[in-house]
A = this chain, B = another copy of it.
Amino acid sequence: MTKVIQVAPPRVFSELKPWLQDHYQDLPKRLQSVAVFAMHNPEVIALNTVASISDQVGVTPSAMVRFAKSIGYQGFSDMQTVFQESMRHMPQPYAERLNSMQRSAGREQTVLSQFTQAAAESIARLEQNVAESALLRASEQLAQARMVYIAGQGRAEPVVTYLHYTLVKLGVQSVILSGMHHSMADKARMLKTDDVLLAISFSPYTANTRELVDICLLNKTKVVALTDSTLSPIARADDYHLEVLEEEVSGFRGLSATMCLALCLAVETGRVRAELDEKLNA
């Protein structure tokens, strides 16, 4: 009989990883293949049958069983349960919100809980303060645009990146303006009247973004703005602006609510755009 590890095998996935790293060298060739595959595609191990997996790895089914046994498991199925267990993000079907609420009430605040609480509050406020209709109007503007130009600097830049990423995935043409090394005037010249500027800016409002908005409004180019207050210089009467205010924790402001709003805006734009495209084709 092949040498089989007699000690108890890891019952959780996080312990299995280091075990494999330690013993990888001593394993037979095929078993090494399985080990690499298992670490790179644990979901496949968790969900598929021996036949299907061994096929993907490029080994025979028996190799899978040998692999499991060489670690100390009773068989493949035994090992698979370990992979499955680490997949469940289970435990809180019931009193989940209650629980975390109670905990944050009495106990002393950890760094994490402080920030999660601030984020949760920001998001709750977002839902109250932003009208669905405003979101829809902004989305319609973006959906009708020939091209969406996105601008924003500093703390707004991650939002720019995210909006660009999502819009492109949804089939809405868009370009990031912030990265380019042009003067504001040059940038503004790029925008035709059927384009739309999507400007993101938080206080302290950077001069660049503000300037860009000014020029666009002068040129009658549509502007959709995402900002943190109606007092913001980029929130003007003749543009479409959405307001999101992040709660701050000892001077730090997050982006949780902002990202949520950004996603809403992108998805809604994608939806409206799809509707428009359908009408055109009909």
Contact = CB atoms under 8 A, between A and B. Distances in A.
B268 A263 contact: no
Contact of A260 (B100, B101, B126, B254): B254
Interface stretch (A1-9, A23-31, A153-161, A191-199): A153-161
Contacts of A268: 111
Contacts of A121: 96
B90 A43 contact: yes
A264 to B, nearest CB: 5
A271 interface: yes
Interface residues of A, number: 86
A274 to B, nearest CB: 5
Nearest to A85: B47
A120 interface: yes
B86 A113 contact: no
Q: Oligomeric state, in number of copies?
A: 2
A254 B245 contact: no
Chain A interface mostly:
helix
A240 interface: no
B255 A257 contact: no
Contacts of A47: 46, 84, 87-88
Interface in A88-119: 88-90, 92-102, 104, 110-113, 115-116, 119
Given A43-B88, A86-B231, A267 B252 contact: yes
Interface string A29-42: 00000000001111
Interface string A241-282: 000010000001011110111011001101100100000000
Interface of A: 13-14, 17-18, 21, 39-44, 46-47, 83-84, 86-90, 92-102, 104, 110-113, 115-116, 119-121, 123-130, 132, 135, 154-155, 157-159, 161-162, 165, 169-171, 210, 229-231, 233, 236-238, 245, 252, 254-257, 259-261, 263-264, 267-268, 270-271, 274
30 contacts: A13-B231, A17-B237, A41-B233, A42-B233, A43-B88, A43-B90, A43-B231, A46-B47, A87-B231, A89-B229, A92-B125, A92-B128, A94-B170, A95-B274, A96-B125, A96-B128, A101-B271, A111-B268, A112-B127, A112-B130, A115-B260, A119-B260, A123-B123, A123-B256, A157-B162, A157-B165, A158-B158, A158-B259, A252-B263, A256-B260
